[in-house]
Structure formats: C-alpha cells, structure tokens
Amino acid sequence: MPVDFLFSFAEERGKRVLTSETSLFYCGVTFPRVAITGSWSKSVTHPKA
C-alpha cells in the first residue's frame, strides 16, 4: 500500500512539474507539424491539458 501511495503521489507531482516542460516541448515540436498539416484550429480549440 505505501508503495502505491508513493507512486501515485510522485505521478501527480510529476505531472505538475512537467507541465511547463511539456508545454514547451509541445509548442516546439507539435505546433509546426500542426501548422503544416492544417489542423491548427483544431489544436487551438482543443489544447492538450
């Protein structure tokens, strides 16, 4: 049980910590692809959480 709790806590905290890094990576890698494929409006109206 303690291991599961630790894992879930680390996962939850990791999500918060990685949010900024993920958004930077998402903007740098995905946005150019999205613009090229022409799905820009879709990504804008439905941003990745």
| Percent of the chain that is helix, strand, coil (3-state, to 5) | 85, 0, 15
Query: Which of 15, 17, 48, 16 is closest to 31 using CA atoms?
Result: 48
Is residue 4 very low, low, confident or very high in pLDDT (cuts 50, 70, 90)? confident
| pTM for this predicted structure | 0.26
What are the residue boundaries of the structural domains of the chain, listed by start?
2-40
Token pair listed for 22: 């993920």
pLDDT of 21 > 70? The answer is yes
- pLDDT bin (cut points 50, 70, 90) of residue 46 is low
Mean pLDDT, residues 21-32 taken together: 73
pLDDT at residue number 23: 76
pLDDT of residue 40 exceeding 70: no
